Structure 1
Amino acid sequence: MHQDFASNLRLLCSYYKSIAEVCRRLDINRPQFNRYLSGRYKPSAHTLLRFCDFFGVEEHEILMPHEQFERLIKVRPRPVVVNESAHQESEHLARLQRAGISSLEKYLGYYFEYYESMAYPGRILRTLICIERQDDRVYYQRTERLREHPGDNVFHGVYQGIVNYLTDRIFMLDYETLTGNEMTQTILFPSFKNRVSRLSGLKLGVSGSGERMPCCTRVVYEYLGRTVDKQRALSLCGLYEQNSAEIDSSIKAAISNTMDENDRHFRALYI
């Protein structure tokens, strides 16, 4: 009989929603697992090692007398349990990433992003985008540099998110990391040329003003390269007037939020 081991195993399982969830995540047969919980059987060395890795304990610890093991567990941080819905969400995101990660390779690097400011209507906002690959995921960071009037303090907003490539469209979703009060989604046309120069699409978010109005605006990404002088690039970011000579006229035309009289939806412009 292995009652101490069985009691220790039941204690570890109590941190999870159910025994069934533990069995699914361990990929172990439920009747077999019940034998270990009953104390009638002790798992093989290989199976015991799997249990220890899963629950985050050492082999000699899980075999301790139950009262001693219980005291040990109580003074440790509680195991971080990922619930089933979060696990399913991670699987969905991983599947999306795998679907188009190879297609994103040529888009890695730095960009200037241009669009009509949601918080400051009538002015153009230029931000710095960095798209990079980490293992089997593609992430990006968007950095805003805002100064409403000359002499004002500079405010930096930092957004972090994920990039997916699905059937000839680039999907980007991020959140504002400093205050946590905003998410934006951007959908871009890919480049069908060998060399990426500009990408266009639509951005959906909320204005940074007090009204937090949901807004949609045309957006252009201007490719800068795999490496840049980030301080120099950030110094060029900020708010620009519509007549500013520092913004190319073709970019101004591409981010203009005009609609034809026959349009029934606000549409992106392919450039």
Structure 2
Amino acid sequence: MPKEDARKLYATNLRLLCQKHKSVSEIARKIGINRQQIEKYLKGTSLPSAYWQHQIAEFFETPVEAFFLGDVIPGTLLAQSKATASRNNPSVLVESLSSSELSRLRNYEGIYHVHFVSPAFKSLIHVGVTLIREQNHRMNSVFFVRSRDPETGIIHRSHLYGTVFLRGERLFIVESSKRAQDRLSETILYPSHGDRMKYMTGICVGLTWHPESEPYASRTIWRRAGASLDLKQAIRGCGLYSLSNPQIDPVVRNYFGTPGSLFENNTISA
């Protein structure tokens, strides 16, 4: 990405995040940065160093990569304050991890393509993206999914933020939505495939507060993205796919089984 474009995107998203706070001076003081310097970032005349990008992202509890996304993450979803995040993020359910637990969890840091099915599109596979990263002695997750309704053409987007922990050999991810506080999800994964660090299989359970949406559970398979794939590129792969689509990994295709009974064989509805 050209430096000028990077500065503009960073400035736009930083301004959106700052709107949730009283003043730029307050933000600068809490981050520990000079106000004049953060003003340069807000104007797009300068880009923070890697260190300050990390510090700013940690303050707002937003992935560093998200500051450089334009049309992928709407600004209204990106603009979440640290106070809101700490109140709604289900990471409050888990105390700070021990050093040994955190050391094990670091093996799972990275970007994953998440595959699952839902009652809304019974013959198609959802492909989303989850970023797992360490923050404040915890392992947190950010889930992105974007899909276009094949009938109406409407694009649906969803973002969930959560925490990750291990119990035995199983990986648990508990997530919720920040903006509307209307969705809770739990995923339990077991790296049972031969390539333990590339594929993980399990079940995800979703619950919303909308009366028209019923809770359901779906089998899921996660595929670790290659080291050369960044978050923005991974999110571009989100969408709805038929099981026969050549873009679907053969391991994923075999996991879900027969296309004609995709939903019936892989979900449980309330």
Q: What TM-score comes out, normalization by structure 1 length?
A: 0.55
2:238 maps to amino acid = C
Deviation at 1:225, TM superposition (A): 4.1
Counterpart residue number, 1:164: 165
In the alignment of these two chains, the number of paired residues is 173
3-state SS of 1:101 partner: helix
Give the SS at the match of 1:122: strand
Residues 158 and 178 in structure 1, CA contact (< 8 A), matched pair in contact too? no
For residues 178-189 of structure 1, the aligned pairs below 5 Å read 178-189=179-190
Q: Return closer, same or farther for 1:245/1:159 CA change in 2, 3 Å cut-off.
A: same
Aligned AA (2:244): N
Indicate yes or no: 2:227 matched with 1:233: no
Q: Is the 8 A contact 1:118 1:207 kept in 2?
A: no
- The aligned counterpart of 1:4 is none
- Runs of 4 or more, structure 1, over 4 Å off, are 191-195, 207-210, 256-259
Letter in 1 for 2:143: R
What is the CA RMSD across the aligned residues, in angstroms? Answer: 3.3
Note if contact 1:118-1:206 (Cα within 8 Å) is conserved in structure 2: no
Conserved? CA contact 1:184–1:204, under 8 Å: yes
Q: Is the 8 A contact 2:111 2:231 kept in 1?
A: no
Structure-2 change in CA distance of 1:241 and 1:234 (3 Å)? same
Do the aligned residues in 2 keep the contact of 1:119 with 1:207 (CA within 8 Å)? no
Cα distance change, pair 227–118 in 1 and its aligned pair in 2 (3 A): farther
Partners of 1:109 and 1:227 within 8 A in 2: no
Amino acid corresponding to residue 104 of structure 2 in structure 1 = S
Paired amino acid for 2:186: Q
The answer to whether the 8 A contact 1:205-1:214 is kept is yes
* Deviation, structure 1 residue 195: 6.5
Q: What is aligned with 1:125?
A: 126
What TM-score do you get using the length of structure 2 for normalisation?
0.55
**Which is greater in Rg?**
1
Please tell me whether the aligned partners of residues 184 and 208 of structure 2 are also in contact (alpha carbons under 8 angstroms): no
Which residue pairs with 1:136 in the alignment?
137
2:110–2:133 CA contact under 8 A, matched in 1: yes
Gap change, CA 1:193 and 1:133, over 3 Å in 2: farther
Q: Deviations over 1:140-183 (max 9, x none)?
A: 00001121128824332110000001111111100122322111
Give the C-alpha shift of residue 224 in structure 1.
Answer: 0.8
Which residue is equivalent to 1:113? 114
Any stretches of 5+ residues in structure 1 without a counterpart?
Answer: 1-79, 81-88, 260-265, 267-271
2:225 is matched with 224
Aligned to 2:251: 250
Q: Cα deviation per residue 1:204-263 (whole Å; 9 max; x = unaligned)?
A: 11479863211111101100145633222211101112332221232123135676xxxx
Q: Residue type matched to 2:187 in 1?
A: T
Q: Which residue of 1 aligns with 2:214?
A: 213
SS class of match (1:131): strand
Aligned-pair identity (%) = 22
- Matched to 1:148, the amino acid is D
Match of 2:202?
201
The runs of 5 or more residues in structure 2 that have no matched partner are: 1-82, 84-90, 258-262
Letter in 1 for 2:166: Y
Q: Offset at 1:102? A: 1.6
Cα pair 2:117 2:125 within 8 Å, conserved:
yes
Task: Name the amino acid aligned to 2:139.
Answer: V
- 2:50 paired residue number: none
Match of 2:245, SS state, is coil
Partners of 2:152 and 2:118 in 1: CA distance: 20
Q: 1:120 to 1:164 in 2, by over 3 A?
A: same
- Secondary structure of the residue that 1:247 maps to in structure 2? coil
Report the Cα distance in structure 2 between the residues aligned to 1:214 and 1:108, rounded to whole angstroms: 29
